[in-house]
Structure 1
Amino acid sequence: MFRKTISSFIILAVIFCSISYLNVRAASPLHSTSRMEGMLVVDVSNSMKDSDPNNISKEAMKMFIDMSSLEGDKIGVVAYSDEVMREKALVKISSEQDKNELKSFIDSLEKYTYTDLSTGVSEAEKMLGSSHEKDFTPLIVLLADGNNELNPRKSKTISQANQDLQSAVSQAKAKGYPIYTIGLNADGKLNKEVLTHVADSTNGKFFEATSAEQLPKILSEIFARHFKLKIVPVSQLIGTGAYQDIKITVPNENVREANISLMSDQPVEIQLVNPSGKVVEIPSDQVVLTKSRTYSMVKLLKPVQGDWTLRVKGVPQDKIDINLIFNYDLQLKLAAFAKESYKAGDTVQVRAFFEDNSTALKDKSFYHSMKGTLFVRDLDKGKTEEFSLEPGNGGFSGKFKLGSASAYEVLVKAEDSSFFRQTIPQKITLKIAPAAPVNEKPSNVSDDGGKPFPWLSIGGAAAVILLLAAIASLLWSKLKSRNRRFSGQMVIEVKDEETGERISPQYKKLKAFKGKFRLHQLLSLAPEFAETDKLIFKPLANDSLLLINHSNCTIEKNGRALSAQKGLTIKRNDRLRIIPKKVNKSIYIEYIS
């Protein structure tokens, strides 16, 4: 233990001594990415039989899955009523089969009785939080009518449900999870106010849907807003019984995927001709075709630049809605500034460029087809100036002159007709000359006969004192953890996997325990659950728990099996499923206040 303490002290000292301030730095650690973590949240309560009688919620979710990238995106599903009824943890899509499995799961969802909107939003937020990766942009798509209908046999009130919803929305906002809400309103009973509030509070957007024909436009706008794309308008067709040609222009060679959705009440036939005039087989290595009850989706993979022809044959007088949106893997980067520090009046040279899979893009025609704009924000006055940038072989370039403000924020935006990107904002803090010292003596001179001040001795003594303090603190922390009491409650629910029957939730207060307790104790030492005696909980700081699993039980969170042999941190409102090996029952636990 002493050796570990010494190592920790040295590491802290090195970190402390290494801290330095840079005058030019990123304003935010976030960076843009084309990879998505999308949670689809759907109300499957009894009221949806009226607000969504044609199951357009299922069509919307399946279309969202089809619009996502064929490789790399992550998608999960939460189906809720007044509790989470079914869920699918985030699946990293690597093939069309992954998408088909997700869509089969959606088709299997049934309707239940009561509704608690907070349940679905809260579960989605937790699932994203437990599986989020830094290179993915998260979002939640909520499909509901916005109304609550609570079970009268349970103690939860409408007021509590509203508070839980607000708490879940606040958590999503704090973590940067935008919630896009699609209000289903076939019966005219949509609670638009609630769903608008959820969306606006998280930087998402509310949409209203009464028919499947509205879905392509809604989902295209969600994709466009989230991935900084532009919807490319395509004319609506009226079927004639013969093929009709539609021009699809792929603007550059950096398009990763082109998604063409066709909505029609009747079956349509599709042909595709590439820019060289050759008919492309559908489906093929270049083209993925997916169909559902109300739509068809054509996905072009790495399409060549130029004018493609989509040939569509529809039943006479049938209306065919066609939408187009492109997916890109390009990210816009701001090159490092020439100097680490600047002063008022200096001229700052700016250069921005695109990257494709971390490789700088050098394509003169590509940059010349786009508009580059520099935005410089005076952080003292809050005013922003715009400057046009010049396109070149390897990016955009320009310059601006610093004024007298103490700091500026700089970013670049580039756009064309199909997408736009912007850089992470960079902050420039102006260097301020230090004031001249007044009657200051050299640092190595003292009043004691000119002898050097004993910095080394004092520094060594201070280091020893800090080291002893660290050891004492560690020992005190160990002693406190042994006597630390628990707080909050554990909700215990047991489900019989053979019959599907669930017992009523049991609320177990934890304040009686000190130092540690075993799950078997919360289960009243029931003999059938004896193996849970090796599931141990210990208290941690910030009202959290440490779960250590020395049993053969499986532990799942959000549908994903987790290893807890070395310890798993449990935070407030975390919900786990414990699966014993010797009995065909599942134990659900949730740590609450």
Structure 2
Amino acid sequence: MFRRIKITLSLLLTLSLLLIYLPQSLPIAGAAAAGQASQIDAVLVVDVSNSMNTSDTDKIGNEAMKMFIDMLSTKGDKVGIVAYTDKVQREKALLEIQSPSDKEDLKKFIDGLDRGPYTDTAVGITEAMKVLQHGADPNHEPMIVLLADGNNDFAKNSGRTQSQSDKEMAQAVQEAKDAGIPIYTIGLNADGKLNKQALEDLANETGGKSFSTNTADDLPQILSEIFASHLKLKVVPIQSMTGNGKFQEVTINVPNASVLEANISIMSSKPVETVLVDPTGTEVAVPSDNVLLSKSKSYSLIKLLTPAEGDWKLKVKGASKDKIDINLVFNYDLELAIDPIPSKTYKTGDKIDIRASLTSNGQQLPNTELYTNMNAVLVVKDLDSSKTEEIKLTNTGDSFEGSYTIADKHEYELTVRAEEKSFYRETEPVTVSAKGTTSSSGSAGVTTPKPADVEKEDAKPFPVMLTIIWGLIIATLLGAAILIMKMIQKANKGFVGQLVIEIRDENTNEKTFPQYKKLGAFKGKFNLHQLLQLAPELKETEGFIFIPGSNDRIIIRSQNGGTLEKSGRAVDISKGLELKSGDRITVPLSQADKTIFLEYLV
């Protein structure tokens, strides 16, 4: 740890010096990345105890989770699944979606979930936090979605108490709050036994939202709301209809060219047929290259990729008297940025001018059409009194402008929020202070040199030795920066291929079905325990570390020494063993009476 701190401090010092000496007109690399569309790291947590047999008799909760997965972007989002009773029943580590087959893998996992006795919600939330802590991308938006009835039911012989469960839940919630991970809760109340307050408290404490329903048929709509809320989008309701056995037409308006994806969800109890017509009047095949179709027993989801602006026509034919609900969620590559506010201490009565504009990939949008139907407000939070007020901003056609006058000697947090019917965006909050007395015309403690002082300084000889010393320091720091960058590149090096895992119980001689674990989501290194979905009984596998090798190979080593078997021979892996495609190894476990079989495939 101390070595890491030293490296980090060295890097910060080096970058600080480089920023001082580099021309100020050069763009900072991170600025462009800041405007990219947000991506999600989501863990879906579902109560699979027997009590759900009455709360969700038809397992529509499973259908809702599958719909949520279908609504995610075609690439980049990551999803994990935790199914729990009073223990973790089944678990799927975060899987990065790179193709339609990845989504299918997740949905098949959901279809394979079974139910069991007893319930302990703290177990599910605690495990979800572990999944995010071990696999989330720091550049993604993390979230947890919990489907449950909010009630616990402990086995009498387990010794587990409500007090113990509450303590574990409180710790998990605090970790979620500290990490900025909202927990969205969906309470299922088909049998009237919902513990609504417990689920609402869980959501409110972490900045999520809580929903409840008396019928599982509402779940797809709720999942749409959660998806939209997390990415600062809005669900656009399209007219509901009752099927009559004929095609009925609705209009899908794509408002502008900044729409990355349009998700059209069609919820019905029976299958529907669809026809799609683009704004030019041309019929578009469903599915096709830029139109994806996902179907389940309770919904159809049509995803339009970079759709053309204008009015699309969707024709839907449903069974006679079947209720059909249609919702629309757009995904935008847009952010809202506030112009820099002067970094100074203000006083009562000072006016702060505010300007905010939409950006894409870090660049202000030249397209003024986006602003046409948008409204914006400046949200001012008094950090001393906790009072909040909103000030309407003027839409100038390519920005939102206004001002705020300091009312008291307090600290304030300023945020701009802009919205229209299909999405909203908020700027990062900016804090200003009116508590100090520093003059706005200059920095406190800095004296402007007098002309005589300037003449004396000009008369001083050129500091040759000082320049040489600084040159050596900068050269040393540059060398250290290069070394650190190489270390960072190594730490972020990715993996290829997959590992096939089978586990044999040495007491019963039974072997699990092969599990195929894709390695593309890992960077730098990972341990075998992560690959085994953090199963508690296999904790000793934490010591087996994988790192990427050259030529599409991987290296396994043991932190604490140890052996494994390859081709029937014991191999010492304390210094590392290189695996190429097709290599098989056997990892015997002493504490769990199990043997793990691994095959590396590229």
TM-score, normalising length from structure 1? 0.69
Do 1:362 and 1:395's aligned partners in 2 also have CA atoms closer than 8 Å?
Answer: no
Structure 2 partner of 1:119:
123
1:432 aligned to which of 434, 437, 448: 437
Whether 1:255 aligns to 2:264 is no
Q: CA deviation at 1:552?
A: 4.8
CA deviation map 1:58-96 (0-9, x unaligned): 111101101112222111101112211211111121221
CA distance in 2 between counterparts of 1:110 and 1:47 reads 13
Matched to 1:315, the amino acid is A
Whether 1:300 aligns to 2:309 is no
CA distance in 1 between counterparts of 2:214 and 2:382 reads 46
Structure with max Cα Rg: 1
Structure 1 partner of 2:22:
none
Do 1:379 and 1:405's aligned partners in 2 also have CA atoms closer than 8 Å?
Answer: no
Whether 1:337 aligns to 2:341 is yes
Matched to 1:357, the amino acid is N
Identity %: 45
Distance 1:48 1:284, change over 3 A: same
CA distance in 2 between counterparts of 1:336 and 1:230 reads 28
Secondary structure, counterpart of 1:196 in structure 2: helix
Q: CA deviation at 1:224?
A: 2.6
CA distance in 2 between counterparts of 1:171 and 1:380 reads 26
Structure 2 partner of 1:365:
369
Matched to 2:562, the amino acid is S
Secondary structure, counterpart of 1:550 in structure 2: coil
Do 1:114 and 1:151's aligned partners in 2 also have CA atoms closer than 8 Å?
Answer: yes
1:551 aligned to which of 540, 562, 568: 562
Distance 1:399 1:239, change over 3 A: same
CA distance in 1 between counterparts of 2:180 and 2:444 reads 46
Matched to 2:437, the amino acid is I
Whether 1:581 aligns to 2:587 is yes
Do 1:532 and 1:553's aligned partners in 2 also have CA atoms closer than 8 Å?
Answer: no
Do 1:232 and 1:323's aligned partners in 2 also have CA atoms closer than 8 Å?
Answer: yes
Do 1:43 and 1:115's aligned partners in 2 also have CA atoms closer than 8 Å?
Answer: yes
Whether 1:158 aligns to 2:162 is yes
Structure 2 partner of 1:132:
136
> Is there any run of 5+ residues in structure 1 with no aligned partner, and where?
19-29, 438-493, 502-528, 537-546, 555-562, 567-578, 588-593
Matched to 1:328, the amino acid is Y
Distance 1:10 1:162, change over 3 A: closer
Matched to 1:432, the amino acid is T
Count the aligned residue pairs.
458
Secondary structure, counterpart of 2:115 in structure 1: coil
Do 2:272 and 2:318's aligned partners in 1 also have CA atoms closer than 8 Å?
Answer: yes
Q: CA deviation at 1:408?
A: 2.9
Secondary structure, counterpart of 1:166 in structure 2: helix
Structure 2 partner of 1:70:
74
Do 2:49 and 2:117's aligned partners in 1 also have CA atoms closer than 8 Å?
Answer: yes
CA deviation map 1:419-467 (0-9, x unaligned): 1111011112345148999xxxxxxxxxxxxxxxxxxxxxxxxxxxxxx
TM-score, normalising length from structure 2? 0.68
Whether 1:240 aligns to 2:244 is yes
CA deviation map 1:29-71 (0-9, x unaligned): x999621111001112233233222111211110110111222
Whether 1:322 aligns to 2:329 is no
CA deviation map 1:238-258 (0-9, x unaligned): 111111000111122111111
CA distance in 1 between counterparts of 2:179 and 2:595 reads 31
> Is there any run of 5+ residues in structure 2 with no aligned partner, and where?
18-33, 446-503, 513-537, 546-557, 566-572, 577-584, 597-602
CA distance in 2 between counterparts of 1:40 and 1:436 reads 52
Distance 1:156 1:368, change over 3 A: same
Q: CA deviation at 1:344?
A: 4.8
Structure 2 partner of 1:499:
510
Q: CA deviation at 1:196?
A: 2.6
Secondary structure, counterpart of 1:165 in structure 2: helix
Do 2:271 and 2:297's aligned partners in 1 also have CA atoms closer than 8 Å?
Answer: no
CA deviation map 1:242-282 (0-9, x unaligned): 11000111122111111111111221100111111111110
